[in-house]
Amino acid sequence: MLVGDGPVARMATTDTSADAEVTALLGLRTQLERAQADLREAEAALDAGRTTQQVARTTAERLDERAAEARGVAERAAAAYLAASRGDGAAITSVDAAFKAGNDLLAGLGGLERVQQLSGDVDRLREIAERREADAVKAEERAAAAWLAVEAVPIDDLQAAVDAARAAVTAARADLRGLQSRVAAETVAIVDTLPQDVGQLSEQGWANPATGTISDVFGPRPVKPVPGVNEFHRGTDIAAQCGAGIYAATGGTVTSAGPNGTYGNWILIDHGAGISTGYAHIREGGILVDPGQEVAAGELIAVVGSTGASTGCHLHFEVRIDGTAVDAVPFMAARGVKLG
């Protein structure tokens, strides 16, 4: 990493320590992303488990109903067999009355007339009763197996996995925030010890976003450097080493952090009063902040890369006022910072 005209956070450190901070931040960022991916996977597994369990429960409840119906038929068939075997006409009549009360054994036995016919054939009634009993047992076994399937879905384990994944995300986010806070604190401490002529935070509280020379300026471009880019260049390009740090130009709130078309990986910071700054072409995995995060002037927020419509490693730096891009060079100069 280069020093000299670079952001204040790195001016009183060696290349090795600065690179170590970048590496550590990238590592913690990767750790957080993995933890978030694990959480999404665990939540998806829990949702799938709940769906599977609900389907199994619905099936089990339906089989319970069928088993209850089969058990009722078996009991009535057994009652008919016992009545016939005893020659108990009153019992047979009672069984038929039960059939007419809404039971479906009529389909199997044919009503009172059929019962009376079969009363002389006790063996036949026994066969029917045994068959109905076997049907009921099978239906009950199917229902019991269905309830076992409901209980077999490891909802508790899946919920525990989600809880553990959430805890891992919380821990990873805390680790990242902790290191970012330490870097920000170092920035403030270093500012107090720097001589006034090395490009540290200006009196207005602004800092140089990257170390390097200006490779393209704000304004119309007669020749597009790469296809697909706008004919009007909305920012100032600072040629910087691949992997070098990118720093917040001043304090504010991150409103965007992620892929953004030809900008590649992009960060936008809202500084209030309608002013925002943008940082483009950040390397893959090089975004070190999240939307909604508060950052300090000169805080390390990203790593230089060449994503999007880019011909080489550099920082595309934008300044916007009420959403309209303005020339960053005079804007920053008016705040005590010389770009490039």
pLDDT given at position 258: 93
Residue 28 lies in a domain: yes
Note whether 73 and 206 are same-domain residues. no
Note whether 225 and 236 are same-domain residues. yes
Output the six-digit token pair for 141.
Answer: 């076994």
pLDDT given at position 24: 79
Q: How many domains are contained in the chain?
A: 2
* SS3 of residue 217 by DSSP: coil
**H or E segment and range at residue 320:** strand 314-321
What is the arithmetic mean of pLDDT over 204-232?
77
Give the CATH number of the domain where residue 109 resides: 1.10.287
Residue 33 lies in a domain: yes
Note whether 182 and 51 are same-domain residues. yes
pLDDT given at position 82: 83
pLDDT band at 64 (very low <50, low <70, confident <90, very high): very high
Residue 186 lies in a domain: yes
From 198, 232, 259, the end of a domain falls on: 198
pLDDT given at position 8: 32
Note whether 74 and 55 are same-domain residues. yes
Note whether 185 and 303 are same-domain residues. no
Residue 211 lies in a domain: yes
**What 8-state DSSP symbol labels residue 263?**
G
In terms of Cα–Cα distance, which of 54, 58, 71 is closest to 140?
A: 71
Note whether 147 and 30 are same-domain residues. yes
Output the six-digit token pair for 77.
Answer: 């068939």
Residue 130 lies in a domain: yes
**H or E segment and range at residue 160:** helix 155-193
Q: Which residues have CB under 8 Å from 23's CB, separation 6+? A: none
From 152, 179, 198, the end of a domain falls on: 198
Task: Evaluate the CA torsion angle 102, 104, 110, 115 in order and state its sign.
Answer: negative
* Pairwise CA distance, residues 152 & 130, whole Å: 33
Q: Has residue 36 got a pLDDT over 60?
A: yes
Residue 248 lies in a domain: yes
Confidence (pTM) = 0.51
- The pLDDT mean for the chain works out to 80
Residue 316 lies in a domain: yes
From 165, 198, 231, the end of a domain falls on: 198
Note whether 154 and 211 are same-domain residues. no
Residue 9 lies in a domain: no
Note whether 316 and 251 are same-domain residues. yes
* SS3 of residue 216 by DSSP: strand
pLDDT band at 334 (very low <50, low <70, confident <90, very high): confident
Q: Has residue 142 got a pLDDT over 50?
A: yes
Note whether 144 and 255 are same-domain residues. no
Give the CATH number of the domain where residue 206 resides: 2.70.70.10
**Structural domain of 301:** 201-333
Span 70-94, pLDDT tens digits: 999 888 888 878 877 776 555 555 4
Residue 39 and residue 168 in contact, taking contact as beta carbons nearer than 8 Å: yes
Q: Has residue 266 got a pLDDT over 60?
A: yes
* Pairwise CA distance, residues 45 & 315, whole Å: 41
Q: What phi-psi label fits residue 288: left (phi over 0), alpha (psi between -120 and 50 degrees) or beta?
A: alpha
**Which alpha helices (DSSP H) does 101-121 contain, by range?**
106-109, 111-118
Q: What is the dihedral of CA 227, 230, 231, 233, to 10 degrees?
A: -120
Within its chain, how far is the Cα of 121 from the centroid? 70
Kindly list the distances between the CA atom of residue 127 and the CA atoms of 73, 93, 103, 290, in Å, as whole numbers in the listed order: 14, 20, 20, 75
Note whether 105 and 53 are same-domain residues. yes
Note whether 107 and 82 are same-domain residues. yes
Note whether 127 and 247 are same-domain residues. no
Residue 3 phi/psi, 5-degree rounding, is -125, 180
pLDDT given at position 116: 53
Q: Has residue 193 got a pLDDT over 90?
A: no
Residue 155 and residue 50 in contact, taking contact as beta carbons nearer than 8 Å: yes
